[in-house]
A and B are shown apart, each in its own frame.
Chain A
Amino acid sequence: MNDTDLNDLLHTAGRTDGTDSFDARADLARGRRALARIRRRRVAGGVLGLAVAGVIGTTAVREYAGDDTPTARQEQQSSSGVEAVRLVSQPLDAGSYRFGKVPDGWSVQGENAFRVTIAKDGDPDTHPDSFIGKLVIMLDSNAPAGDEVTHHNGREFWVNSDGGGDHTSISTLTRDGEPAGTILVQFPNDAGWAKLTMLEFLDSVEVLEGAQPSVG
């Protein structure tokens, strides 16, 4: 047989016999059911959230007051048993970004014009382009988007919790004077990041000249 293009081979292999009939309405029905489930969970979560708001508020106040009593430390444990992340005001420049606050016990692992990767100290995965379990800060060419829109410090943030179960992404528009676009931070789930802490961290990030957006 003559030399063959891989591209041609793959097209042959992926081709169907014309037996792939489908009904778009079935896909639509599945999508609607999934959306309804998510909305029901949000409503239930909202009611539960109101009930526990006092507890969360107490934890947050203690966190920002720097309370280090045993009781406070215990309250800063997340429900998964991971200690809550604490931000410290230690300005840091990395890549094309300036951070007003950084998570205590986490360090920059990779930095360039496209993204900064920050990992918990001692993370065995030291590859700067491996993002699982790490913070990834990037400029996004897409508009901010998410399942939920929230406000913090006078800015609008879009929260996307659907990160395949292992991360939450939060995005917001850059400020006047920064390169125009969307700044997005990917936070690992189950690593002690409370929502307020995530918002506070992202709000502290300044995008510098030279930052390059990722295109997705």
Chain B
Amino acid sequence: MRATDRDAEFVEFVAEHRPVLMQAARLLTAGDHAQAEDLVQTTLTKLYVQWPKVRRSDNPVGYARRSLTHVFIDEGRRAFRSRERVVAEPPAPDARREEQVADDHELRASVLDALGGLPPRQRAAVVLRHWFDLDVDQTARILNCSTGTVKSQTAKALRHLRASLEPAVTLKEIP
């Protein structure tokens, strides 16, 4: 393929799909914008290098999703650390918190904090299953593990999220 075709296709792909990759990266990194941007940049660079393979894959978005997850897990292996979020004010008492979570910003911060308490692979399992809406088999293939592992990791993650978010937010039971 000619370099100009590769470039044009890649730019079109970035324009269309970068925002979604950035949102996924934001969840995977529990709201760390700088790390999320790094993940997306690394992912897109890999995609450009492998573009002939990406375009042959019939599902470039799926390819990007898998690459993003792998980059995240590889990074996590190198440096998994639990970050403390700096907040302007001390946490509000529970009674007030319930009102505040109605605000999107507060809710977002609460969810990202809860995600931040998960190990990287559990966080990836939650994002793949419940944000990308992939099924257990698809998630297992991306994470290179068994379907049983996906189920157990997701269940552990959901228990943690429930415990972290309640009582302000009650997660619906997932069948």
Contacts and interface: CB of A to CB of B under 8 A. Distances in A.
Interface of A: 1-7, 9-16, 20, 22, 24-25, 27-28, 30-32, 34-35, 38, 129-131, 142-143, 145-146, 160, 162, 164, 214-216
Contacts of B174: 6
A13 B169 contact: no
Interface residues of B, number: 60
A19 B173 CA distance: 33
B153 to A, nearest CB: 13
DSSP class of B's interface residues: helix, strand, loop or mixed? helix
Contacts of A38: 49
Interface of B: 7, 10-11, 14-15, 18-19, 22-24, 26-27, 31, 41, 44-53, 56-58, 62-63, 66, 70, 74, 98, 101-102, 104, 107-108, 111-112, 115, 126-127, 130-131, 133, 141, 144-146, 149, 158, 161, 165, 168-172, 174
Given A14-B26, A35-B48, A2 B131 contact: no
B27 A13 contact: yes
A215 B103 CA distance: 41
A188 B148 CA distance: 24
A9 B144 contact: no
A6 B49 contact: no
A14 B27 contact: yes
Nearest to B149: A129
A143 B54 CA distance: 11
A198 B147 CA distance: 29
A188 B133 CA distance: 31
